[in-house]
Structures are given as structure tokens and as C-alpha cells.
Structure 1
Amino acid sequence: MLLRATQVARFFGDSPVFRNLNLTLTAGERLALIGANGTGKTTLLRLLAGLDHPDQGSVASSGRVTLLTQHSLTGDGTVLEALMAPELVQASTAFVLASEQLGEGSDRSLAGFSDAEETYRLLGGYSFEAQATLILDGLGVPEDARLLQLSGGQLRRVMLARLLLVPADVYLLDEPTNHLDDEGAAWLERWIQASDAAFVLASHDRAFLDAVATRTAELERGTLSLYPGGYTEAMEVKAQLQDAQQRDYAAYQRKRGALKQEGAKLRSASRSASTFSHRRAGNVPLISAKNKAQDVANTLAGRAKAIEKRMERLDAQTVHKPVHDHRVLRLEVPAAPLGPGEVLTVRDLQVERGGRTVCSGINLYLQRGDRVALTGPNGSGKSTLLAALTEHRFTEGDVRWGQGLTTFVMGQHAEELNAFETVADALLESQPALTTHQLHEVAAQMRLPGPAFRVADLSGGQRTRLGFARLSVTRAQVLVLDEPTNHLDIKMIEALEGLLMGYSGTILFASHDRRLAQQVATRIWNMNNGTVEEA
């Protein structure tokens, strides 16, 4: 056992984030940690890392535990300098100092050197530079760059590289594939699979979890449920358990209903029998007839009491009603007209940004019903190309959209929302036919403050949900989406996936979500080195 949480609970104020949580992690295990945004995954990771303490229960570890947080690096310096963890910096300084003191030749200096050298070695000091170069190359980060020159995504990858360079028995990774392209995510998968360490992986990347996880833990409604295998296998097992639970609950309801009905009949018969009628006595002595009626009433009442006892024993079995997630947005809105068959034609496109040619010689063709995934490494120009197509911001070439087409555009950072004053304005621009009642319905289902709420006051998560709500009700014939799964949890990603697969128009989307591309796309455009090729 490397890590154990026993009856752990965490509260924010009087509200429990989770309670009675039990988890054991053994050597070599790779645990996927999933759950909707806000269910407490990051909170749980901090408890497991020992950075916070549970309000109830305990967390114990028997090895070195290290955590990758969702926060980024700050400051200046080179990437290679930033990779050296404080413990290794301290060990390196102590090792250099102990080496200088060896000239004294004393037993004390020899012992100090031995201790400093062992600490330096155990922290990976001798292999640090070679390992750092290998990891940075795998994650696609230049080692000689300075931190101030890096993007937010690159800084995030430097943090991941720094963590992987620290020898540990348990790695706790919070969204490790954020800002990784397909190649970087595949490299990380291989690194994890080859490691002897144990991992807890909080992630919304289904393909990643399927590739590396040996077990899956789901935080849902304040409880932690454990399933075998990666995400897909775990959800199949969960569905089977829910089906079995539904059958058990239906059987319980039927049995309880039959007992309740039988008990009601017996009580009614008992009351009728206990009401003595002289006319029914006939020639039988009144006292004898009355006693006989009372005996019948008592017998029926006893049988009714026995039925009640059986119902109590049945209820004590605590067959719970299955809970289903109904967060998927569904609205009845008029279908959009089909539009022309030829959706987009691009010839000899060249795009420049800041005096640099991002792409050139681009020739593309889209027809109605195509669902195209635009893939490629980070920095290859996918977002720039989408902006060039939708905003006609290009240097040379020709971009022609079909006559009369309406286009819905969702930016990587939901920047299109800045044009709207309120939630209602944003929704109505996407779907003018929405009624006042539907506006409130959409806002409630997407956990938004309300139609009159100011867009500028929305949190990051709320902006993401507003963008998703706009997409869910649009009547546009073409969807152009840049990293649409950013900041979505798995349930919302699957809802988005279902929406896109059922969409009858044309879709062009850039995404690093490999599972989304596999499920939705009918064509793949791969962008690299300033060109686009169909895979």
C-alpha cells in the first residue's frame, strides 16, 4: 500500500464536498479520477498529496507523493533552470559544498560528502540533464527558451516535465494532457506505461484514460465509486450496475406494491368483520356470533400486521432508486434549411501574422454534411486558419462560402461572447426563435445565472456553458469550432459529441480531443509546417 484514504470527508462551510471516502493505491496502479467540474477532484488530490487535511478521516502514505497542480510557473530564467525542483537545487548546492570540504580529510567531511552525494543521487541529480532533454523533447518544449517567452500552454508543459523529473512513488496529475497535442499526449502515455510508479490521473481526456488507467474512480454526488479498467470499460460496468439496480428497484416496487395492496384488503376485511350485525347472526346465539366475528377480525388484523412486518423487512434492504444524470440540453427548435451543396472552397490561401507566413498554398473543399476535424501540433496555425476562413483575414488566395449560408463560430476562449451584453442577447443571436420561457429553461439547464445576467460578470466555467448552450440551440448551417471541449467535463464532452453527431449541417472543428475526432469526424485535415493535408 502506497497511499490510503480512510473515511475521508471535506466540507466547504456546512456543505460536504465528499464524505466517507475510502481509497487504496498500490504500487504500479494507475487510477483514473473522473467527475463533473466542481465535484472535488482537485480537492481530493490536494488531500492525497498532504497539502490539505481532511475534515474527517485520515490519509496515509508510505512513499514519496508528488502533485501536478493546474497552476502555472512564474518568473524568468531558462526552461532547464525551471525544471530543477527546489529539493534538487538544494541537494546540488549541498553536494558542491561537501565536495569542496573533502580537502579537509576529516571523518566529518567524508560523512557529510557521503550523505550529500546520496541525497543528490536519489533525487536524480546525475541523470537530470539527460532526462530533462528527453522529457522536454517528448513534450515539445525548447530547453533553451526563457520562461517569459513561453505561452501558457508551454508553461504548463514545463510544469509537467518538472514533475516527471522528480523521483516519486506516487504521481498525482491534475489534467496532465491540457495543452498537449496528439504527439505530446502519446509520449506521456508511453512514459506513464513504462513507469513503475503509481498514478492518480484526474482528466477529461477519454482516449488518454483508456490508454493508461488500470482502474477508474468517479466522484459523483459526494461519493467515490470504483470501477475496473479505463474510462470506457468503467462506464460500461457502471451502466450494467445501474441496469441491475434499476431491475432490483423495479422488482422491489412491484413486491412492495403487492404487499401494500394485500395489506389494505386485509385491514378492510378486518374492519368489516369486527362490525357485528344482528341480522347475520341468524339462529346462532348472539354472544357466540359476536365472538366468532371478533375472532375473524383478529385473524385478518394479524395477517395485515404480518404484511406490515414483511414490508418493513423489505424496506430494510435499502434498495435505492437509481440516479440518472439529466444534464444534457434538449430543446425543440425549428430545423435550419439545408443550404447549398458546396459549402466552402479555398484556393491558394496564404496567411501572414506579424510579418511571418503561417500557412501558404492551402486548397480546401467542403460540401454539405461533411464533419471535418482539423488536427496538428501546438503552434501549427489551426486557430489562425479558422480565423482566416471565417473573418476573411488572409494575405493571398480565395475563400468562397456557399450562397446564403449561416455560420456559427465558437472561439477557443469564447471570445465571441464579448460582443453580447446579457445571457439572453447571446442566446437570441444564436437562436432568434427562443421564447422567454425557453431562455429561462436553457439558462437553468446549463446552470447559468439567468437570461438577464451580464456576460461580463460570468465566470470562466459559466462562459464555457453559455457557449455550449448557444451551440445547442443554433440554426446555423455550418459550425466552426476551435477546441470546443476546452474546460468541459466528460459528461458535457459526451453531450457535445452527441449533439455534433446528430447535427445535419457541416462542421469544421479544431481539437486535440482524439476521441471526439474519432467519433464525430468524417474527414481529417492535418495541419503541419504551414500546409494542410487530408489524412
Structure 2
Amino acid sequence: MLHIENVSRVLGDRVLFAGVDLDVHSGQRLALIGENGSGKTTLLRVLAGLDQPDVGRVMVTRRVALLEQERVFESGTVLEVVTPAALRQARLALELTSARLENGASDAITAFAEAEEAYRLAGGYHFEARAGRVLAGLGLHPESKVTQLSGGQNRRVLLARLLLAPADLFLLDEPTNHLDEQGAVWLRDWIRASDAAFVLASHDRAFLDAVTTSTAELDRGHLTVYPAPYTQAMVLKAELLAAQTRDYAAFRRKQDALEDERLRRASQARSAGQYNHKRASDGDKLLAKGKAQNAQNVNASRARAIERRQEHLAAHAPVKPFANRPQIHLNLPEVPHGPSEILHAQHLSVWRGERQLLKDQTLDVRRGDRIVLTGPNGGGKTTLLTALFGLPTQQPLHLQGEIRRGGGLSVYRVGQQGEELAGLETVAEALLEANPALTFHQLHEVTAQVNLPGPAIPLTALSGGQRTRLTLARLGVTRAQVWVLDEPTNHLDLPAIEALEALLMTFPGTVVMATHDQALIARVATRRWHVEAGQVWEGVGGREGGVTLETVLKA
């Protein structure tokens, strides 16, 4: 279906990837993973034929459709913009030929028959039913005006448009972005039921495990394919890395031993060449000179033989394993324990303007809880976090009821769009805002450990990956007792998400977090609140099995 061979792509003076080989077969569902900025989107565009490789060739034998990252629709309804162009043309031709049937001419009948056949082959008779199912699954109304949609809804329209396209291979770049749990479940089932092939670039580990059959990792310019879904692929990767580490360590030991032997032989050859045979007695001078020359020749010959062995060894050297993402290790004081009762809300109701968002809720948060908020987009998760912890908001909220918070609490917030960095200018300011006690030396130590340019660098000069590392660094250094995280995995790549997960698992304080990341929920949560239609349902934490959306809605 698709074959690429020795493909390379250069952006400016940076090699995004080189020597990439990949085959995609009918029905295959391939996960494409890698750090932010590794070149996944560029590779998808090369596969789709939208970008040409600088080196190598791409061969495509079937129809390919790529999920667009952004597009602004200027007019029309949702149903109109998701209808494929070929189907719109076939429908127009059918309407025109239908109007000409009134004269009864044979050529008009023939034209109508051909137009009707083209319309049938384009799927016209079944399209509206298919479109209705896709739009319903993605939470979109067919008659909604596209000019009135939010950014997240517009992204879902692009996804619907792709899924309804006549294609045999779908290239999906972050398809679960802007999907709530119910939408992600629907997309998972749709992909599973499809006969098409898929290449999915995503940071959603649970989604990849549920739908993919193999995994391709783009790491520092190299593409490695594992014959398993994401989690199993990472196990295979760890085993491969361990074997590479052992092989490379053995290679280095052999290399060092040969170098030691070569240096010893070369030294002995030099010493023999510098031997003063005149110091021997008259009868032994000739014999001493011969012995010295023989020792020099033998040792020099052995040294040259060792050099040839070194060259052969270097030519067959094993792959040097990549270094792992750096971790933050600082000598910082422990997080203060704080009160055992973090927060208690009694009969809490919340309004924004005339709209009531929460209705008569009684909730409590205890020290050590890791509470995850789930629910549909717009269901009130962000509103609940804002109300409970008194966070700043652009649109003021009106609260009714009682909220009692523990004394002396310090709260650290991470917003969906990095709102916590607003008003900060440099890396140093961002780190000091998270922990004012950091010393000048520690600021440099933190930036070095997470590979940031330095404390004085402006935030505006950071790349997306560097901002990701700064977010994790701030979490690593803050001494706040409570972390309030609103979709913290937004814009994080898979290594960063796993680093965040490790931080959450070792954090001794309290976490209240809104997220759709099912893998993160399963590993981290001790309690689960499902927020929908102004209500909050309590469920068990992800590590104890969680609650399904169907169970919550029935309750």
C-alpha cells in the first residue's frame, strides 16, 4: 500500500530524519511516536505526498488521506463541509441530468443513467447516514454553521471530514486532541471496525494500545518499528536497549584492552629502539644490537597488528544506545505535610452569568489524594477546579454554599494553555515563581539537567519542547502541598507524559487533576470524580479499576 525507502528530510540546517524505511500494508494500524519536534508531522506529510523528501523515494499504490492540523471554513454547515468534493460534484451532475429528463430525449436518459451510476459509486445513497453516525460520534450537529464553531469543534470537523473521505490509508496526526472520553471511545471503535489502514501520530497511550498493531518510533532522526502496540513496544525497546547497552559495554572493554596492549607494544618498540648497545661488553655488542632490533621489530609488528584489529572492531561496532531524558535531582527540602483535610465543599453551586454550572455539590479532598476529574468537554471540570481552589479566571464565577480550605495551604496550578506562565519573562522567573527559595547555583543546575539554554533566556525564545521541559522542571522544584492540574498532558510528548506520571506517583502531597488521558488515570488516580451536567459522581481510582462512562450515566 505504501513503501518509503532511504527517505531523508532536512529543515534549514537541521536533519529531521535520515535513512527512513517503512512499509504500510492493507489493514495495518501503525502508531507513530516521538518527542515534540522529532519530525512526525513532516513524515506524515511526506507519506501523503504533500512534502517531497530531500533524499529517497515514496511509492503509494492506494488512496491516502491526511488529517489537516488547521483550516478555517468560511461558510456552510458541518454536513456540507464534510461532504467529499467528488460526491458534491456527482450530486450536482445528478441534479442537472435529472432536470433534463423532462424532454424524454435518449441522450438525456443516457446522461442521467451515467450520472446516477457515478453518484451511487461515490456512496451518495448512503453518505448522509454514514455522516450522521460520524458526526454524532464526534459530538457535532450536521446543521451547525461552521463559522460559529469553537477551535475544538473545528478540529473535530476536520477529523469527521477525513473519516468520511474515500481513502484506503488514513494518516491521523493527534486525532484524539479535543475529544472527550466518549468521543475517543467512539473513534477507537470506528477505527477497529474499518478495513482501511491507519498511521496514527498520538500521545494518547491508552488509545494507541487499543487500536494499533505496531509502533514506529522516530527518535533523533532514526525510525525504529516494533511489531506490537505502544506499551508492548516500549517493553521490546527496553529489552533492545539493555542488549545494546551490554553489547556496547563489551565493545568498549575490548576496545580499551586492545588500546592498552597497542600502547604497551608501541612503548616497548620505542624502548628497544632507544637501547644503547655500546653499553654492552665488547664481545656482546653485536648480539645486544641484534636483540634490540629484533625486540623493536616484533613489538612494532604486534602494535600494527593490533591497530588492524582495532580498525576491524570499529568497522563492526555495535550501535551506541541513546541517552535517556535527563531527570531533575536537587537537594531540596521535603514538601510540607500540611493539614489532613485539604478542602471541604458543602452544598456548592456555581454560576457564570445566568448559566448554572454546578448544582448543590458536597465534596472533600484529603491529604495524599490523587483525584482525577473526568467528563465531557464543557461538562464543568475547569469550573470545578477554579471554584474549589479560588483560581483566577477571565469570566467571574458566582458561588453559593460553603468552601472550607485547610490552613496554610500552598497550591501550584498548571493550566490547559500554560496560563501559569503569563506575565513571566525569563526561565529564571518561571522557576523562581514555582520555588522562590532556589539559589543562583540551583537555577543553573536545573536548566542544565533538563537541557534548557540557561536561566536568563526569555520564555519567548523557547521552542515547544523546551517549554515542555520547563513545565516539568517547575513541577520538579515546587514545594507546594497541592497540585491543581487542568489537562496537564496537553502539548506534552510521550516521554514528557511518562516523566509527569513518575512525578505524580512520587509526589507526597495532594493532586487534583482534570484529564482525558486514560493511561495516566489508570496509573495515578486514587479517586475519580466524573463531572457532567452540573453534577459530580464519585468513582474509585484508576488503580482499582475505575468506573466506565456507561456506569456513571446510568447512576
Aligned-partner Cα distance in 1 for 2:377–2:198: 26
Q: Does 1:410 pair with 2:411?
A: no
Aligned-partner Cα distance in 1 for 2:150–2:111: 42
Match runs of 1:519-534 below 5 Å: 519-534=523-538
Aligned-partner Cα distance in 1 for 2:463–2:288: 79
The 3 A distance-change label for structure 1 pair 346 and 261 is same
In the alignment, what sits opposite 2:307? 308
Where 2:35 maps in the other structure, the secondary structure is: coil
The 3 A distance-change label for structure 1 pair 236 and 111 is farther
Aligned-partner Cα distance in 2 for 1:395–1:76: 39
In the alignment, what sits opposite 1:333? 332
Q: Structure 1 residue 237: deviation in Å?
A: 1.0
- How many residues align? The count is 534
- Write the letter of the residue equivalent to 2:134: I
Q: Does 1:133 pair with 2:132?
A: yes
The 3 A distance-change label for structure 1 pair 324 and 122 is farther
Aligned-partner Cα distance in 1 for 2:114–2:5: 36
Aligned-partner Cα distance in 2 for 1:531–1:428: 38
Where 2:124 maps in the other structure, the secondary structure is: coil
- Write the letter of the residue equivalent to 1:30: R
Match runs of 1:226-245 below 5 Å: 226-245=225-244
- Write the letter of the residue equivalent to 2:438: L
Where 1:305 maps in the other structure, the secondary structure is: helix
Give the TM-score normalised by the residue count of structure 2: 0.90
Aligned-partner Cα distance in 2 for 1:3–1:165: 21
- For residues 310-334 of structure 1, what are the alpha-carbon distances to aligned partners after superposition, in whole Å with 9 as ceiling and x for unaligned? 1111111022321112344443322
Is 225-234 or 388-397 further displaced after alignment? 388-397
Q: Does 1:344 pair with 2:348?
A: no
In the alignment, what sits opposite 1:149? 148
8 Å contact kept, 1:10–1:56: yes
Aligned-partner Cα distance in 2 for 1:50–1:119: 27
Aligned-partner Cα distance in 2 for 1:439–1:459: 19
The 3 A distance-change label for structure 1 pair 321 and 458 is closer
- For residues 315-364 of structure 1, what are the alpha-carbon distances to aligned partners after superposition, in whole Å with 9 as ceiling and x for unaligned? 11022321112344443322221111111111111011231111112111
In the alignment, what sits opposite 2:366? 367
The 3 A distance-change label for structure 1 pair 322 and 192 is same
Q: Structure 1 residue 289: deviation in Å?
A: 4.1
In the alignment, what sits opposite 1:264? 263
In the alignment, what sits opposite 1:169? 168
8 Å contact kept, 1:72–1:152: no
Q: Structure 1 residue 136: deviation in Å?
A: 1.4
- For residues 197-252 of structure 1, what are the alpha-carbon distances to aligned partners after superposition, in whole Å with 9 as ceiling and x for unaligned? 11110111111111111111111111211111111111111111111111111111
The 3 A distance-change label for structure 1 pair 482 and 278 is closer
Is 251-260 or 273-282 further displaced after alignment? 273-282
The 3 A distance-change label for structure 1 pair 64 and 262 is same
Aligned-partner Cα distance in 1 for 2:453–2:101: 68
Q: Does 1:486 pair with 2:485?
A: no
The 3 A distance-change label for structure 1 pair 464 and 221 is closer
In the alignment, what sits opposite 2:546? none
Aligned-partner Cα distance in 2 for 1:247–1:449: 33
Aligned with 1:476 (options 480, 491, 498):
480
Aligned-partner Cα distance in 1 for 2:60–2:307: 50
In the alignment, what sits opposite 1:5? 4
The 3 A distance-change label for structure 1 pair 314 and 449 is closer
Q: Structure 1 residue 309: deviation in Å?
A: 1.5
- Write the letter of the residue equivalent to 1:59: V
Aligned-partner Cα distance in 2 for 1:267–1:330: 44
The 3 A distance-change label for structure 1 pair 286 and 442 is closer
Give the TM-score normalised by the residue count of structure 1: 0.93
Q: Structure 1 residue 288: deviation in Å?
A: 4.0
Where 1:395 maps in the other structure, the secondary structure is: strand
